[in-house]
Amino acid sequence: MTTPIYIGTILLERNRWSPGKVPTYRVSEWLDRFARDGFDGVELWENHAALCSDDEFVRLEHAPLPVIVFNSYAGMGDEGLPEREQAARLANRLGASAIKFNTGNVPEDGAEYARNAQAWADAMSRVARMLCECHPGTIMEELTVAQATYASWNDDRFQAIVHAFSEPEEMLIEKMHRFGPRIVTHVHAALGEHTTETKELVHRRTGILRDMGFAGSFTLEFTEGTGEPDEDMETMYGCALRDLELLRKELNA
């Protein structure tokens, strides 16, 4: 079975980190290209749905390439309920089968985050995976906290993202050991410039994932040139296609 590789719409979005994060392009205009060039689906940055026109949203609903992951930045504290409700509504309408999320960063609020995440999952009509990014700057970067939180959920929908090509190798291995392939089911990939060292790193890390039983999916999240002042969509997309080719080669080896 071919490993699914999705494209993150955030990869082409210049305003991904700008104040207000107002989208600069219509994803619908790229979907035919994404499908033609071999991506298996889309990880949709939430503002590409939340801040788009009604006509654009209809086009996303009837897209030639499915929205698989809804990439949400909704807050996980009690005050984030309206954001989570909006994300649930949009993800349900788009037929997404996974939500990407992060917890907050206050250790004392861990039980609140876990409770709200469970309620959020239960509000999804089709979501099979709740993908926690376990991101630095959140309580889930501490692996003992993350283990305890996954145990408290006791729900197979709650799974984990790893940054297999950008986080330290020992961290990747430790996460796979602690969580195992049932929980670690998605990779955010940021490959950067294709030097000999990059190609060797991708080869080694995909081998580690394979040897440790990983059988999940990948999203090309960032690529060479991300965040540069002269960032250009066509150039970025060309880099993403090069990343796709390299990743396919290694995953099919």
Q: Which residues of the chain have pLDDT under 70?
A: 1
What local confidence, expressed as pLDDT, does residue 1 receive? 67
What local confidence, expressed as pLDDT, does residue 240 receive? 97
Number of domains in the chain: 1
What local confidence, expressed as pLDDT, does residue 125 receive? 81
What local confidence, expressed as pLDDT, does residue 152 receive? 94
Are the C-beta atoms of residues 236 and 11 closer than 8 Å to each other?
yes
What local confidence, expressed as pLDDT, does residue 205 receive? 97
Q: What is the pTM of this model?
A: 0.96
CATH of the domain at 66: 3.20.20.150
Structure tokens at 53: 């026109």
How many C-beta neighbours within 10 Å does residue 119 have? 13
Give the range of the structural domain holding residue 202, as residue numbers without chain letter.
5-251
User: pLDDT tens-digit profile of 162-215?
Assistant: 999 999 999 999 999 999 999 999 999 999 899 999 999 999 999 999 999 999
